Amino acid sequence: MTPIPNAALGTRILIVDEEPAMFRYISTILEGKGFSFDHATSGSHAVELLNSGGMPDIVLMDISLPDQDGITTLRQMREINSTLLVVILTNVSDTKFVVKAIKAGAYDYLTKPFAPEDLERVVLDCINTRPSRKATSGTLIEEIDSDYCFVAASLSMRKLRDRAVKVAASNIPILITGESGTGKEVMSRLVHKASRRSERILLKVNCAAIPPDLLESELFGHDAGAFTGAYSTKPGKFELANKGTILLDEIGEMPPAFQAKLLQVLQDHTFSRLGGQRTIKADLRVIAATNVNIVTALANKQLREDLYFRLSGATLHLPPLRERKEDIVPLLKHYITRRAELFACSPIMLTPRIVKACMEYDWPGNVRELCNFVDRVLVLNDEDALLNDLQRSKVSTMPATPSVPPMVAIRSVS
């Protein structure tokens, strides 16, 4: 059984479940450990208790309530207290309910029937998390679209999100920097969603994946006869993204010779197709992303200085995961619920051993590596094997060095 620390003394738990038997089951497991219990048999009853001043420390709530569903009740509770720790109890096999609950602000979930040790584990997790949640006002989970969410518990990422939304309101180019796997594409999608162009297309171009001799044709398009094999006119990515946003991913891999042509487009907002004579107006938002060290890239002429200044109208630097470890557990829980839905399997509980190992690991591949780890968690469901994987990765990885923010102080660009 999981030992409950002295911090449990005086902790008030509200159990929201129609069945008296569930109240007895939970209170029996946790009795004698310093908790006090309240019982609500409906969603409206639970909300009434909170409005009357009966604010619990932890809520254990069934997803299926007689008067309204648990998702609705959860949202009402969090309107009253945004830092309330709510654990969803569900016997619904459809993982979409769990995903909706997490998005609505649930801290965790338990699938009925749950073992006593699972209940004690999640309650202990709530107790240990409670101080940090009060300090940070909870984890931010912002859905961008059906495939992308912005997840942040750390102060640095929450501030970065606020800055991204502010610069999104303008039309200036944005440069997103950070190590591979830190979430630069997610940040670009967040900017696009917050911009006035959100109803238009966001078109991603991976500059590293396009051969240098095809880059101009891919970005600007070509007219028929422009080169051997060009049998018809083809619009480029800049033309297809008209009125929307274009993401130039891995801009640091773009050949320096082509960077001058891109600079010209950014300066006068016009371009011509390869082999064409007509000038085309480029009405779009440009976001560039790179994982290269900006200082080194400029010194080695890998990145043109004038292009850097033009792109970095605003710079958003994503710190590596090792420098924002408060985000690790929220990201793990988020990906477990999302990937379980993708794999059509039940989400699993994170044990204290796994959480401890994840917090001690530096995640050199950042959020992308963490997502891959979650996939192995769901597929293997073998704790010892997963812990061994983390240990081997930890031993084989060179010591991480602090991230170097971009040279945003070189020049102020309006």
Q: What are the residue boundaries of the structural domains of the chain, listed by start?
A: 1-138, 154-318
b/e per residue 214-230 (b: at least 16 CB within 10 A): ebbbbbbbbbeebeeee
Strand order across the beta sheet in which 314-318 lies: 202-206, 245-249, 285-290, 174-178, 314-318
pLDDT confidence of 403, banded at 50, 70, 90? low
Residue 26's pLDDT is: 92
How many C-beta atoms surround the C-beta of residue 320 within 10 A? 21
Find the Cα–Cα–Cα–Cα dihedral 326, 329, 331, 335, rounded to 10°: 180
Tokens at 291, concatenated = 């994982």
| Portion of the chain with pLDDT greater than 90, in percent | 39
Q: How far apart are CA 36 and CA 58, in angstroms?
A: 11
Residue 94's pLDDT is: 58
Q: What are residue 64's phi and psi, to 5 degrees? A: -110, 105
> Measuring CA to CA, which residue among 31, 68, 73, 66 is closest to residue 50?
73
pLDDT confidence of 35, banded at 50, 70, 90? confident
| CATH H-level superfamily of 154-318 | P-loop containing nucleotide triphosphate hydrolases (3.40.50.300)
Domains 1-138 and 154-318 share a fold: yes
Give the length of the chain.
414
Entry pTM: 0.69
pLDDT confidence of 9, banded at 50, 70, 90? low
> Measuring CA to CA, which residue among 124, 129, 119, 84 is closest to residue 104?
84
- What kind of fold does domain 1-138 have according to CATH? Rossmann fold (3.40.50)
pLDDT confidence of 100, banded at 50, 70, 90? confident
The identity of residue 21, as a single letter, is A
- Are 102 and 337 in contact by the 8 Å Cβ rule? The answer is yes
The identity of residue 161, as a single letter, is R
Average pLDDT, the chain: 85
Q: Which residue has the higher pLDDT, 65 or 406?
A: 65
> Measuring CA to CA, which residue among 63, 149, 56 is closest to residue 101?
63
> Measuring CA to CA, which residue among 91, 48, 41, 86 is closest to residue 66?
41
The string of pLDDT tens digits covering residues 171-190 is 899 999 999 999 999 999 99
- Are 50 and 80 in contact by the 8 Å Cβ rule? The answer is yes
